[in-house]
């Protein structure tokens, strides 16, 4: 609804600006033509049929028509009939001038200006209305002022003139349709590009949020790895103490009972450490699951962004093609302006042949030529706007291409993260197996110590078993330390990749 209102307001402003240009041009023509005619009359070089009363009457009548037309059009500038009223008031003013100044037959060329300017209202109905008023104006002028009929065979001369009117009118209708279609297409594509850009920004925000979650979980994982490392060090220290206790049992039989109790306490601490280690790895498993889910979301968003980028890129290419077609139509408008200039030149030549009596008509022909030049300048400005629009679309096309390239890099980084996470999960499984092995070994040590405490006769055997078990546990603890270091390196790699992803998303947002 908001887009429709904005588009309607834009069209209303375009029509209103056309009204102002039309009235300013013809007001200046009326003033200058009347002034020139009055000067010619006062110098006594004017035609006999042109009296002071005729000049004043024509000026006041045309001024009144233009004043009423301007007042009503300004008051109802956003109503549908304002365009028709503006065309009619200007056409009526031209009719009066041609009727009063019937000595100049070339003034019929002003009709082409009406047809040319009607194109810029972007409404075929207004163009058809302009064509009808031109035909009716010419017919009534021929009836009321037979002097305006060109010399030569009447049938062929009048037929050719009306045939040219029809050709120009048909060209104006098709030109109006083309400009209207191209203008609406440009507005549609601009709105669509704006919506695509907003959706891409939302996707970038979602990806950035997911990357933030990934960084957070990577930090948590690094903390967990540090905790595991501390627990492994404590486990190693406990094993050293247990080993020392076993050696003491072997070397000093008298302290077997005390040493066994000490070993029992140390094993309780070791069991607690293993329990804590299990809890820590449960947290690691949860963090790994959360990271995997975040990566899946990022993958879906990235794939969706690539598909939308491809569609947007194709639509921008179509828009560039349509803009090139609109440039061709501007060339047609320039050709029409050149034809009007040529007709104005012919009128100036005829006025020059008429001598002093044709000076006023020469001024009018010069103003018509200026108006045709202004029409050509407007067409040139439209061409410049189209060129600027094409440059902006080419720039947007490059930005979208860069965004697509950034998304491809984003997918590559995501695949790398998935591989690292898979490797991390494998390491976590290895750590879990080692923890279970340590737990089993701790149980064996505990049972061995209990046997030593209850049966001194089995002291030697228990000491040997305890020594073997301690060696095995020490090796397992060393393996655990190595695995923890590997997990720490993987977590650091994931964090670096997440930072690269964040950089890519920032670049995509700026594009």
Q: Which of 469, 312, 337, 494 is nearest to 403 (CA)?
A: 312
pLDDT in tens, 78-121: 888 888 998 999 899 889 888 887 766 777 888 888 888 888 88
DSSP per position, 244-295: HHHHHHHH-GGGHHHHHHHHHHHHHHHHHHHHHHHHHHHHHHHHHHHHHHHH
Determine the Cα–Cα distance for residues 376 and 370; give it in Å rounded to an integer: 10
Share of the chain above pLDDT 90, in %: 8
pLDDT in tens, 54-80: 788 888 888 888 889 889 988 888 888
Distance of CA 184 to the CA centre of its chain: 17
* pLDDT given at position 298: 76
Determine the Cα–Cα distance for residues 448 and 473; give it in Å rounded to an integer: 14
Q: Look up residue 151 and give its DSSP letter.
A: S
* pLDDT given at position 131: 95
Q: Which of 337, 324, 442, 340 is nearest to 390 (CA)?
A: 324
Residues in the chain: 511
pLDDT at 446 over 70: no
Q: Which two tokens stand for residue 319?
A: 């828009």
Within 10 Å of residue 430's Cβ, how many Cβ atoms?
16
Within 10 Å of residue 166's Cβ, how many Cβ atoms?
12
Domain-wise residue ranges, the chain: 2-147+154-198+315-396, 202-310+402-510
Q: Which of 508, 462, 489, 430 is nearest to 204 (CA)?
A: 508
* pLDDT given at position 128: 95
Rounded average pLDDT over 461-471 = 71
pTM above 0.85, yes or no: no
pLDDT in tens, 25-51: 778 877 887 887 788 778 876 666 677
Within 10 Å of residue 14's Cβ, how many Cβ atoms?
14
The answer to whether the CB of 368 falls within 8 A of the CB of 25 is no
Output the CA torsion sign for 488, 491, 493, 499.
negative
Rounded average pLDDT over 141-154 = 85
DSSP per position, 418-456: HHHHHHHHHHHHHHHHHHHHHHHHHHHHHHHHHHHHH-G
Please, what is the average pLDDT of the chain?
77
Share of the chain above pLDDT 70, in %: 77
Determine the Cα–Cα distance for residues 153 and 168; give it in Å rounded to an integer: 23
Sole residue written with tokens 């390196």: 489
Within 10 Å of residue 72's Cβ, how many Cβ atoms?
16
Rg of the chain taking only CA atoms, in angstroms: 46
């Amino acid at each position: 609804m908001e887009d429709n209102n904005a588009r309607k307001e834009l069209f209303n402003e375009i029509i209103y600006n056309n009204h102002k240009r039309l009235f300013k041009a013809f007001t200046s023509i009326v003033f200058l033509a009347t002034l020139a005619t009055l000067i010619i009359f006062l110098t006594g070089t004017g035609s006999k049929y042109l009296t002071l009363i005729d000049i004043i009457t024509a000026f006041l009548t045309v001024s009144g028509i233009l004043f009423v037309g301007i007042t009503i059009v300004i008051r109802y500038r956003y109503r549908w009939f304002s365009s028709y009223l503006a065309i009619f008031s200007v056409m009526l003013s031209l009719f009066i001038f041609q009727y009063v100044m019937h000595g100049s037959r070339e003034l019929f060329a002003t009709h082409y200006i009406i047809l040319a300017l009607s194109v810029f209202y972007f409404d075929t109905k207004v163009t058809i209305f302009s064509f009808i008023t031109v035909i009716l104006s010419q017919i009534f002028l021929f009836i009321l002022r037979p002097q305006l009929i060109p010399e030569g065979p009447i049938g062929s001369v009048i037929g050719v003139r009306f045939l040219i009117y029809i050709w120009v009118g048909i060209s104006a209708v098709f030109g109006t349709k083309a400009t209207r279609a191209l203008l609406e297409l440009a507005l549609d594509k601009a709105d669509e590009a704006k919506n695509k850009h907003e959706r891409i920004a939302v996707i970038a925000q979602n990806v950035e949020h997911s990357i933030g979650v990934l960084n957070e979980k990577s930090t948590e994982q690094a903390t967990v790895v540090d905790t595991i490392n501390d627990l492994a060090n404590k486990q190693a220290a406990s094993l050293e103490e247990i080993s020392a206790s076993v050696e003491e049992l072997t070397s000093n039989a008298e302290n077997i009972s005390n040493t066994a109790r000490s070993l029992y306490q140390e094993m309780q601490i070791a069991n607690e450490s293993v329990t804590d280690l299990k809890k820590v790895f449960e947290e690691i498993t949860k963090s790994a699951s959360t990271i995997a889910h975040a990566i899946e979301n990022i993958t879906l968003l990235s794939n969706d962004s690539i598909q939308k980028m491809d569609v947007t890129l194709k639509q921008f290419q179509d828009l560039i093609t349509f803009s090139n077609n609109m440039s061709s139509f501007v060339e047609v408008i320039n050709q029409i302006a050149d034809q009007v200039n040529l007709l104005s030149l012919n009128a100036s030549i005829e006025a020059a042949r008429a001598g002093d009596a044709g000076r006023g008509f020469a001024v009018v022909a010069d103003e018509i030529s200026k108006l045709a030049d202004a029409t050509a300048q407007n067409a040139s400005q439209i061409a410049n706007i189209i060129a600027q629009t094409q440059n902006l679309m080419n720039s947007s096309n490059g930005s979208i291409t860069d965004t697509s390239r950034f998304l491809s890099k984003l997918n590559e980084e995501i695949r790398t993260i998935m591989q690292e996470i898979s490797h991390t999960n494998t390491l976590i499984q290895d750590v879990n197996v080692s923890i279970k092995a340590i737990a089993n070994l701790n149980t064996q040590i505990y049972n061995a110590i209990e046997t030593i405490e209850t049966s001194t006769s089995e002291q030697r055997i228990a000491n040997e078993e305890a020594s073997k078990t301690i060696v095995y546990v020490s090796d397992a603890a060393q393996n655990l330390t190595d695995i923890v270091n590997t997990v720490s390196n993987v977590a650091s790699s994931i964090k670096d990749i997440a930072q690269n992803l964040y950089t890519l998303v920032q670049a995509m947002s700026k594009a």
